Amino acid sequence: MADDKNAQFTRMWNEENIAKRQKFRNLMKSKLDLLHVEVTEENARAFYNGQLVARQPERLYQMPERSEERRPPRRR
């Protein structure tokens, strides 16, 4: 099964039709960019085969602590 996935990746990565090749490579680039991984053929192949282990990015935004002094707005 892994050989089939490797062969399928190789076929799509080296596609003769330029539009199809670019579409596949752009898809791999977008997926790897989301994981903050360098875009290389080896990383794309590992992602396609489900073998890429990406580190989780640290959270950029933290939820602020709610103050005990804060109340709901007054009713009118």
Please say whether the beta carbons of 44 and 24 come within 8 A. Answer: no
State which residues form the domain around 37: 2-48
Contact between residue 25 and residue 72 where contact means Cβ atoms under 8 Å apart? no
Predicted confidence (pLDDT) per residue in 2-45, tens digit: 789 999 999 999 999 999 999 999 999 999 998 888 999 999 99
Domain count, the chain: 1
Greater confidence, 55 or 47?
47
9 located within any domain: yes
In 3D space, the residue among 71, 22, 11 whose CA is nearest the CA of residue 45 turns out to be: 11
In a domain, 26, yes or no: yes
At residue 63 the predicted structure's pLDDT band, cuts being 50, 70 and 90, is low
Residue 35, judged by CB atoms within 10 A of its CB (0-12, 13-18, 19+), counts as: middle
The DSSP secondary-structure symbol of 75 reads P
pLDDT at 54 over 90: no
pLDDT (0 to 100) of residue 59: 62
In a domain, 20, yes or no: yes
Whether residue 6 lies inside any domain: the answer is: yes
